[in-house]
Amino acid sequence: MGAMIDHFAGGEHGHFIGNHLLGLSKQAKIFGAVSPADHLEKAEQAADRQAAYVAGLEQAIESMSDTFYGPIGPTVRISLK
């Protein structure tokens, strides 16, 4: 498909569009999407899960103690902010 787009659009633009469409096609197959609307919905759900995961990591980092304990007690104090 990318080669056909490249043939008609030509050059860098054809490669860009072809690669983008190929990426969307692969993503749709991974998601198991059966229609463009289904693909969009599943992509939005994946983006929401990713955002929730990142937010959870950020919250875990903020709740960490700023004192790390070595074998004989507190050894290092750092600021995580």
Q: What is the pLDDT of residue 31?
A: 95
Look up the pTM and report it. 0.58
What 3 state SS string does 13-24 have? HHHHHHHHHHHH
Tokens of 62: 């903020």
| Mean pLDDT computed over 39-50 | 96
Give the count of beta carbons closer than 10 Å to the beta carbon of residue 5. Answer: 19
DSSP state, residue 74? E
Give the count of beta carbons closer than 10 Å to the beta carbon of residue 33. Answer: 18
Q: What is the pLDDT of residue 72?
A: 62
In the chain, domain spans: 1-31, 34-81
Tokens of 20: 């983008």
| Mean pLDDT computed over 44-53 | 96
Query: Average model confidence (pLDDT) for the chain?
Result: 79
Q: What is the pLDDT of residue 17?
A: 83
Of the chain, the percentage scoring pLDDT greater than 70 comes to 67
